[in-house]
């Protein structure tokens, strides 16, 4: 495409299992089309769905501002794309890892992911992920998301976040489920233990999220970031800790973790967003995706799934409850 040049490449790391990324920088040409079409012209070897995924994931910025598919860049603007490092799909090996399957039919599975399990393989981390376990389980998986490292993966949970994930077996189911999440038709509800005393019994945190300008493995509330909205309700207060229920209206990377840290109530045990030491043995953030509500992509039936708090989380609450009573 005339007027376009790749001016730099770089490697970075993301928190989800150390995913490597490449940063490609382009100069926008004269009369550039809207961003989704512009990306296809800039990167002709990439599929339309891959470019769409980059935009939906907040991986494209123009002059430092995260943009969506409809944005039209001005001539000379600096377009930065943060691409997952290419990997050989043959490196993803099936593994016989036990899965806690909450529900399964011909269209989808609902999995209760344990702490310490990365959702999908990434550069330098091709083993012991949920995808390896799904391949070992042997069920069909969708392949329409533009990333051979993420078969069936409609949405993800961070490595040390436990709880419910929906996995698509067919491309039709995948597209429908992704649409439900994108259009706020599906509901993902979490339980988190935060540092501090959250005073309001309920509230909405509405702050844009983008990649941290300096620490690339972190996200942050940044001007020009993608819109992000988290609703919350206080479930219990334990002196210097607060138990909250958080409901995602959007699905940005690390959204709940970033939003509560920004408010001054970081999630206990979070290795990225707080320097406060946890007095509990947590192995990462005390965060659990305990409820998932969605419409079945084929039958249209409304479905609600729940996963109880993992044992470590329940034990922490028991200790806090005992201390509160003393």
pLDDT in tens, 142-167: 998 778 889 999 999 999 999 999 99
**Mean pLDDT to the nearest integer, 27-43:** 85
Higher pLDDT, 171 or 281: 171
Beta bridge partners of 303: 294
Banded pLDDT at 242 (limits 50, 70, 90): very high
Residues of the chain with CATH 3.30.2350.10: 89-183, 188-290+316-325
Q: How far apart are CA 44 and CA 287, in angstroms?
A: 40
Is 15 a residue whose pLDDT tops 70? no
pLDDT of residue 6: 37
Please tell me the pTM assigned to this model: 0.75
Is 48 a residue whose pLDDT tops 60? yes
What's the CATH fold of domain 11-84? 3.10.290
Residues of the chain with CATH 3.10.290.10: 11-84
Active site residue 158: yes
**Mean pLDDT to the nearest integer, 1-19:** 38
- Among the options 45, 68, 100, 158, which is catalytic? 158
pLDDT of residue 17: 42
Banded pLDDT at 10 (limits 50, 70, 90): very low
Q: 171 near 177, Cβ under 8 Å?
A: no
Distances (CA, A) of 307 to 150, 164, 188: 23, 7, 12
Is 7 a residue whose pLDDT tops 90? no
Banded pLDDT at 92 (limits 50, 70, 90): confident
Which residues lie below 8 Å from residue 215, measured CB to CB, with a gap of 6+?
A: none
pLDDT of residue 246: 98
What's the CATH fold of domain 188-290+316-325? Pseudouridine synthase (3.30.2350)
CATH number (3.40.50.261, 3.90.1300.10, 3.30.2350.10, 3.40.50.300) of 89-183 reads 3.30.2350.10
Is 315 a residue whose pLDDT tops 70? yes
CB neighbour burial string for 225-236, b if at least 16 within 10 angstroms, e if fewer: bbebbbebebee
Between CA 312 and CA 326, with CA 309 as vertex, the angle to 5 degrees is 65
Is 104 a residue whose pLDDT tops 80? yes
Strands, E, within 7-91: which ranges? Answer: 11-13, 20-27, 60-62, 65-66, 78-84
Computed over every residue of the chain, the mean pLDDT equals 88
Is 44 a residue whose pLDDT tops 70? no
pLDDT of residue 321: 93
């Amino acid at each position: 495409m005339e007027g376009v040049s790749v001016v730099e490449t770089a490697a970075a790391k993301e928190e989800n299992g150390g995913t490597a990324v490449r940063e490609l920088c382009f100069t926008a040409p004269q009369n550039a089309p809207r961003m989704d079409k512009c990306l296809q012209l800039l990167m002709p070897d990439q599929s339309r769905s891959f470019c769409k995924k980059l935009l939906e994931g907040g991986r494209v910025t123009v002059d430092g501002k995260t943009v969506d598919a409809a944005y039209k860049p001005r001539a000379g603007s600096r377009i930065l794309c943060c691409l997952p490092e290419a990997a050989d799909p043959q490196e993803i090996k099936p593994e016989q890892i036990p899965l806690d399957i909450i529900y399964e039919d011909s269209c989808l599975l609902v999995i209760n992911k344990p702490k310490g399990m990365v959702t999908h393989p990434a550069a330098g981390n091709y083993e012991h992920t949920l995808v390896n376990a799904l391949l070992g389980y042997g069920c069909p998986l969708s392949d329409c998301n533009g990333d051979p490292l993420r078969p069936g993966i409609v949405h993800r949970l961070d490595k040390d976040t436990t709880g419910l994930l929906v996995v698509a077996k067919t491309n039709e189911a995948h597209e429908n489920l992704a649409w439900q999440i994108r259009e706020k038709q599906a509901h993902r509800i979490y339980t988190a233990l935060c540092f501090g005393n959250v005073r309001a019994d309920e509230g909405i945190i509405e702050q844009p999220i983008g990649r941290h300008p300096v620490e690339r493995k972190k996200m942050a509330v940044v001007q020009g970031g993608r819109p992000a909205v988290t609703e919350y309700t206080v479930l219990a207060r334990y002196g210097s800790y607060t138990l909250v229920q958080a409901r995602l209206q959007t699905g940005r990377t690390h959204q709940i973790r970033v939003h509560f840290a920004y408010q001054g109530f970081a999630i206990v045990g979070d290795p990225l967003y707080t320097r406060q030491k946890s007095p509990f043995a947590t192995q990462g953030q005390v965060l659990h995706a305990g409820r998932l509500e969605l419409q079945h992509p084929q039958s249209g039936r409304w479905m609600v799934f729940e996963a109880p708090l993992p044992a470590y989380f329940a034990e922490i609450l028991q200790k806090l409850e005992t201390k509160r009573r003393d």
